[in-house]
Amino acid sequence: MSTPRLILLFVKWPEPGRVKTRLGRDLGDAQAVEIYRELVAGVINALPVSEFDGLRICFDPPERRQEVETWLRPLVETVKTPVIFEPQVPGDLGDRLAGAFASAFADSEGNRARVLAIGSDCLEITPEDYDQAFAALDQDEIDVVFGPSFDGGYYLVGIDAPQPSLFREIPWSAEDTLDVSLAAATSAGLRVAFLDQHHDIDTASDWHRFCGKEEPI
């Protein structure tokens, strides 16, 4: 039996003031919510058609399960693999990543899987990025794959075994998020591969750049 390939998509219920807060400060919370919905839809549309075995939508907050499923079920109709909705565990992003990875591996036979986690900030991600990430993890000499973003973080992380130490004591949403994560990987003796660098969309400038518009003065 081949090793399963799984994708974890992290989303939040699009409540004004709780998603894309930096966009909200510049464009207003209502527009930030609309942009966030576009981001999530765009990331889902970029999923590879048939090159993976399962999609887990890791959502927050847990009590919004029904609303999240109503929102996203139509968007994932084209996904040809099983789709599971799973609430994120409490804590910071590191806790949430570690928890989602642990759950995915626990549900895989013998804890064997290739698992990628993505957020909903990067509209430049392509099906080829996923293919390259899975291909990297198929190599015996690679333990972790990162998709670096230009803001110092990463838009994708993939592992082929549980690695909780990779997500501890990381400065999230910072210019050195990836650097500190790489140091954690090195300290744990993990071998790392990289995908192409892409832009995240966190600010009004990011959004205008993506849309090809001049930012208002």
Tell me the per-residue pLDDT of 27-55, one tens digit each, with 9 for 90 and over: 999 999 999 999 999 999 999 866 799 99
pLDDT given at position 50: 65
Tokens encoding 194: 């990289």
Q: Evaluate whether 175 touches 151 at the Cβ level (below 8 Å).
A: yes
Which among 87, 6, 9 has a CA at the least distance from the CA of 42? 9
- 1, pLDDT greater than 80: no
Q: Which residue has the tokens 């794959």?
A: 145
Distance (Å, whole) CA 8 – CA 177: 20
Q: Evaluate whether 210 touches 204 at the Cβ level (below 8 Å).
A: no
Topology, domain 5-211: Spore Coat Polysaccharide Biosynthesis Protein SpsA; Chain A (3.90.550)
Tokens encoding 127: 């099906």
Distance (Å, whole) CA 217 – CA 5: 46
Residues paired with residue 165 on neighbouring β-strands, in sequence order: none
Q: Evaluate whether 20 touches 32 at the Cβ level (below 8 Å).
A: yes
As a whole-number percent, the residues of the chain with pLDDT over 70 amount to 96
Q: Which long-range contacts (CB under 8 A, 24 or more apart) does 181-189 make?
A: 181/146, 181/154, 181/157, 182/146, 185/143, 185/144, 188/163
Query: Which whole number is the average pLDDT over 2-6?
Result: 91
- 213, pLDDT greater than 70: no
pLDDT band at 90 (very low <50, low <70, confident <90, very high): very high
pLDDT band at 111 (very low <50, low <70, confident <90, very high): confident
- 146, pLDDT greater than 60: yes
CB atoms within 10 A of CB 108: 17
pLDDT band at 217 (very low <50, low <70, confident <90, very high): very low
Q: Where are the alpha helices (DSSP H) in the chain?
A: 21-27, 29-45, 65-72, 93-106, 127-137, 177-187, 204-211
Stretch among 103-112, 153-162, 207-216 having the lowest mean pLDDT? 207-216
Query: Which whole number is the average pLDDT over 61-88?
Result: 96
Q: Where are the domains of the chain?
A: 5-211
